[in-house]
Structure 1
Amino acid sequence: MSLTIAEENYLKAIYHLSDGGTKSVSTNDIAAEIKTKPASVSDMLRKLGDKAVIEYRKYYGVNITEEGKKIALGTIRKHRLWEVFLVDKLQFAWDEVHEVAEELEHIQSPLLIQRLDAYLNYPKFDPHGDPIPDEFGDVKARPRVALNEMEIGQSGQIVAVKDSSAAFLQYLDKVGAYIGARIKVMDKVEFDGSLEILVDQKKNLFMSKDVAANILIQQS
């Protein structure tokens, strides 16, 4: 099925907003995610409905179909593989790759993506810790918890971030928090939920609740 770049972007947004197709999504939520007007969203939803990649009933929300999920996961797969390539092979920083991958994800060449995957030795996660769907759309997620939900004395490894904006990633670089770092919660402030954490058994950091909520940990 041939979709435009805009249609693929909408499908990807709907997939994320629906938690992988498990719930309905409102047009207002889609408009906020795409950064456009609800009226424009309604026009696009009618087009996507005609192509049977979503089910849309006015006032009842949007549900992504199985075909829609397949296309969305394919786009996500390409995006995350390109991010790995840009960081590992072209030495981009992890805060520089999102916009470039947004363009590369729309290349329509299954053979190119198969060879890219093999060239990268079949990575399971992108530079931000997000799982990369395989060629069949299967996603191998790993158990993880937001840092702000951990208790004093608990420890683990940073495996992903919720916020992949350049500003947030640059902040993590500045304080020395990175994917793979070992952390331990040393203290939590009752007043505002901020934390003191130990990184790699040698560096103490003080982190706000909002920052900690965007850092995902695999506990150990």
Structure 2
Amino acid sequence: MSALTRRDFGKAAGALVLSFTLVPPLLRAAPAKLPGSLDKNRMLDAWLRIDADGSATIFAGKVELGQGILTALAQIAAEELDLPLVRVAMISGDTAQTPDEEYTSGSQSIEYGGTAIRLACAEARALPLERAAARLNVPAERLTIAEGLIRAPDGRSLGYGPLAAELDLHREVTAKVPPKPPSSHRIVGTSAPRRDIPAKV
């Protein structure tokens, strides 16, 4: 048997290392599937922005075709964010700004887009609550939110606006923050002026 040279050993070792470095990515688990349109658009800031004036801007890949979808999606967002409906702006179908939700058809806008916005807003609502708890030195569970105003038991309060700059929405949605139960809804399920009508008359 011929002696193993240093060059031969190096070739063998290199091949061995290469074979091990290629295996882990193949074994890596795929990310957990998320509900609705969240599955393909996983970043929280792809769905909404909290603005400095305390309002919210919602980004939707579904578009208005006369079915009233933008009004319904705004209601869902306002409900979960505890904001008045008039303080929720909608941007839809702008491929430079909105999530890719493919097409709008088949009565799937609420099922897919609405589910995504509901869960994203439920998760986003917890962020100003956390910041307010730190600022007010009060446990988050003792704070209440109404009309975009976070109140402590002693009467002190903070709006979303002053907290907006501290909120990091550039994170993946977990879909683990439960949305409000239907029994607590004040906006969803009620009649609201259609946002698409004024431009048509």
Which band: TM-score by shorter chain?
A: 0.3 to 0.5
TM-score between the two structures when normalised by the length of structure 2: 0.33
Larger Rg: 2
Q: Which structure shows the higher strand fraction?
A: 1
Q: Report which structure shows greater RCO (CA 8 Å, sep ≥6).
A: 2
